[in-house]
Amino acid sequence: MTMNRTMTYLLAILMAGSLALAQDQQSQQEADSLAKLLFGSERTEDQATSLFEHGKEDFNAGEEFLKEANAMRSSGTDTTMKSRGGVFGLIGQAMGDTTKSSKELDTRKRAMSSFKSAAKNFERALAKQPEMKEIELWLVATYDRMEDWDKSLPLYREILNERQGEDNLWFAYGYAAFQAKQYDKAITGFDQAMRIKELVTGTQDSIPNTYRLYLAEAYLKTYQDGNALKMYTLAQENATPEDSAEIQKTIDWMKWDEGGIAAAEYRDAAYAAEAKEDWNAAREAYVGGISAARTIKARDYLTWRLSLVTYNHGNKTEGIQRLGEVVNRLGAECPKDYQDSYGRMLYAYGQDLVANGDRRGALEYFLNSTKVPWEGQGGGFVSIAQIASNDLAQSIENAERALAYPLTPDQRKKAYEILVTSYRSKGQWDEMKKYQALLGGE
């Protein structure tokens, strides 16, 4: 009985050992199967790992080149575009090569070459080992450096399908979409980044202000002015003192037409066109802004600017008419700049007509220039007095009215001369002598 028990015990041990061995073998098989699923065959895994490492080396080299180029840009060193030097450069120039470059540009080209090499290595590694998810992160970062947004965007989506809880990846996706001008996707990325950051940390204070600023900018690009203003305001509340002033400029820019972003953009486009002396483009931009403006104030401002461009570089009478409608409608509330521009246009065009022999037509413009409270208002009365020289009463009346306004030295002298001549013709010697004395004092 005792022997039977012993044999049974030994048999149980053997069976247990056999079972354990079987279990170990099964575990090993499962591990091998899982490893094969995750990494593929050992040889393929080794090849992928080698390509991955080479890709990282290329990527890091590209980063160093970029850092070097950025340092050159910030310091202004080696950024001047020059013709290629050396023997080959001279030969090329002799053959008509006009290509110019700089050390900074050459360094950036070397960076891009390194990133392209890195991308190829990562792509080949990923093809061999799709399960090595770390490769995707390096590859998408490489696409970003190359600004190849068409490749980085779909790859970000693949990554985010499995890593939806990482706010930095959502922001990177939004940034790539923003650069690709796919602003709706950018809004999704930036908004998700903010939501996840707050969800994970339990507080809005943890959200990087960069997230808010980029979301605000994406709203601007899609003309969601209400959302953009709200986000910029929130960003300013959380900004450093250095950034706050710059954000305020953007907020002020948005409020110029009470949130009418389109009108402000047209205005800026017109400014840029004027700086390039592209007057047709400037006119088109101002017309577009007038059409898009939400407020009368913005519309009047753009009309004023359009009138100046039209008068100076197009149809003078059209420019006068446009601005006249604004000035006359606003009356006493008209901004001084508008009044000065309108008065100056009327007076200058009257002078042009006089020079061309159209004194009758000039009279109307000079008369209108005296009805506008502008800096040269008195000059219009002097010009009317000159035209009315055959009507002594009118000539005297307008010359004396001119003296009540600020005049240039030449205009004042001309007014005195008119009065001296007119009073002499009328035989009013005392008045003549008075103005003659003033004329002599000039």
pLDDT 10s digits, 346-396: 999 999 999 999 999 999 999 999 999 999 999 999 999 999 988 999 999
Q: Is 38 helix (H, G, I), strand (E, B) or coil?
A: helix
211/219 Cα distance (integer angstroms): 12
**Residues with Cβ within 8 Å of residue 399, at least 6 apart in sequence:** 381, 382, 385, 415, 418, 419, 422
Structure confidence at residue 191 as a pLDDT band (50, 70, 90) = very high
Instruction: Report pTM.
Output: 0.73
pLDDT tens digit sequence for 54-95: 989 999 998 999 999 888 888 876 555 454 445 444 444 444
Q: Give residue 85's Cα distance to chain centre.
A: 37
Q: What is the pLDDT of residue 94?
A: 47
CA dist 431 and 422 (Å) reads 10
HEC readout, 136-181: HHHHHHHHHHHCCHHHHHHHHHHHHHHCCCCHHHHHHHHHHHHHCC
Average pLDDT over residues 190-194: 98
pLDDT tens per residue across span 308-334: 999 999 999 999 999 999 999 999 999
User: How far, in Å, CA of 317 to CA of 364, rounded?
Assistant: 13
Per the CB < 8 A criterion, the answer to whether 393 and 408 are in contact is no
